């Protein structure tokens, strides 16, 4: 890194979500349910130069780790993301996200007539397909607007 580059600081304890596709950082925060009111330290880098992706976004959250269902949904909008767990300033774990075969109970179906939107105790279930996720009940496919249908 050259001395002219400005980077967000290292964190002491928490999670760094790195190699997020440019433009998706705010959706990452939405998936994690972070809007600042939690009082967590959060740093966001947008369109940071990256060898692998050209440009990338990254999100650093202090004092918080991620649940598997959050990682599953992240993988849908940021398939190249790396999740780094930081403890006492050291990266102690680094994992690439993997796209799950299905996600249950984390996304709402955009089809208002879907059984999952009726007043029934039915958990949402989507199959992960090449171009998005498909509702098991009504076959509606959610594509680019996945982040707006998060229920976590
Ligand atoms: N990081 C951080 N605070 C720390 C340690 C690391 O914010 N105390 C961040 C780094 O700035 C980087 C990410 O966590 O964005 C991963 O750190 P590291 O594994 O050290 O960097 P790289 O080797 O460049 O990662 P990769 O190989 O995944 O690109
Ligand atoms: Zn549906």
Percent of the chain's residues with pLDDT above 70: 95
Q: Are 40 and 61 in contact (CB under 8 A)?
A: yes
pLDDT for the residue 4: 62
Pocket, ligand 1, Cβ cutoff 6 A: 10-11, 16, 18, 58, 60, 82, 84, 86, 89, 91, 94
CA–centroid distance for 85 within its chain: 15
First to last CA, the chain: 37
**Residue minimizing CA distance to atom 11 of ligand 1:** 10
* The predicted structure's pLDDT at residue 33: 87
Taking residues 14-37, what's their average pLDDT? 92
Place of tokens 């001395």: 3
Q: Mean of the per-residue pLDDT values for the chain?
A: 91
For residue 2, what pLDDT band results from cuts at 50, 70 and 90? Answer: low
Scanning the chain, the segments in alpha helix (DSSP H) are 25-32, 68-77
Domains of the chain in start order, with CATH, are 14-96 (3.30.70.140), 102-149 (2.30.30.20)
Average pLDDT score over residue span 122-127:
96
The confidence score (pLDDT) of residue 47 equals: 94
pLDDT at 69: 84
Interval 91-124: pLDDT, tens:
999 999 999 999 999 899 999 999 999 999 999 9
* Res 14 pLDDT > 60: yes
Arithmetic mean of pLDDT, 28-47: 91
* Residue with CA at minimum distance from ligand 1 atom 20: 91
Measured in residues, the chain has a length of 152
Q: What 3-state DSSP class applies to 148?
A: helix
CA of 30 to the centre of ligand 1 (A): 22
User: CB within 8 A of 115, min separation 6: which ones?
Assistant: 122, 137, 138
């Amino acid at each position: 890194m050259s001395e002219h580059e400005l980077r967000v600081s290292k964190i002491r304890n928490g999670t760094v979500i790195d190699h997020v596709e440019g433009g998706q950082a705010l959706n990452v925060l939405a998936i994690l349910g972070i809007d600042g009111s939690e009082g967590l330290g959060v740093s966001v880098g947008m369109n940071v130069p990256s060898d692998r992706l050209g440009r990338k976004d990254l999100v650093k959250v202090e004092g918080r780790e991620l649940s598997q269902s959050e990682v599953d949904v992240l993988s849908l909008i940021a398939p190249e993301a790396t999740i780094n767990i930081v403890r006492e300033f050291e990266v102690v774990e680094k994992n690439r996200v993997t796209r799950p075969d299905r996600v249950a109970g984390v996304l709402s179906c955009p089809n208002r007539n879907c059984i999952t939107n009726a007043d029934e105790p039915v958990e949402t279930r989507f199959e992960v397909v090449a171009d998005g996720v498909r509702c098991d009940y009504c076959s509606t496919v959610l594509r680019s607007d996945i982040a707006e249908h998060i229920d976590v």
